[in-house]
Homo-oligomer: A and B are copies of this chain.
Amino acid sequence: MTAVAQERTRQRLLDEACRLFAMHSFAGTSLQMIADTLGVTKAAIYHHFKTRDEILTAVIQPAIEELRTAIAVAEVQRTPAARADAMLSGMVDLTVKHRALIGMIGMDAGVTSALQSHPDIVELIQRPAELMRLDGTPGAEINATIALAGIATAASSPVLQHHDQAELREHLLAAGRRVLGLRTRRS
């Protein structure tokens, strides 16, 4: 196989794995099931990934990179409000773009538990809540958690899939700002 064909197979494998994880849960999806759905042998899967954990990590990799960038953008802002607003805006973009992935991850305790063995990812996932706290009060911590949970869950909710991305993005951002107590600004 050429490098291009290899890459195409790898991407098809990741797309199919993501769909199967969402349907049968991460714990309920075996390498054999992924191979069967793709119509390839388990050896063909092993050529790309040694374990199911490696597949999960590869599935979430693009979103993780965008999260890393969004955090970096937020971190260079000068005030707590500007940091919170930049982080919120980054999270809204990311969750709307990766709706299916967020829905799959958020509904699956097996994914949460598998990610525990990647301390770098765990640390990264905790960072937005820290950046979205306006101060050290309990209220600020609760508000950041509500904003993040509300955005992620609403963006991936089947109920809202009929809204277009731009409309959903705008309302999620406005609602997030109201939860955090941020003034509306140009985004």
Contact = CB atoms under 8 A, between A and B. Distances in A.
A42 B181 CA distance: 53
Identical copies of this chain, number: 2
Contacts of A163: 138, 142
Interface string A142-186: 110111011111100101100100011001101100110100000
Given A107-B107, A110-B25, A157 B145 contact: yes
B145 A167 contact: no
A160 B172 contact: no
B108 A172 contact: no
Interface size on A, as a range, is: 35 or more
Given A25-B110, A150-B146, A160 B175 contact: no
Contact of A143 (B157, B167, B175): B175
A141 interface: yes
Given A110-B25, A160-B141, A146 B175 contact: yes
Interface string A115-157: 0000000000000010000000011011101110111111001
A72 interface: no
B107 A108 contact: yes
Interface of A: 22, 25, 27-28, 106-110, 112, 129, 138-139, 141-143, 145-147, 149-154, 157, 159-160, 163, 167-168, 171-172, 174-175, 178-179, 181
6 contacts: A25-B27, A107-B109, A129-B159, A146-B171, A149-B150, A150-B179
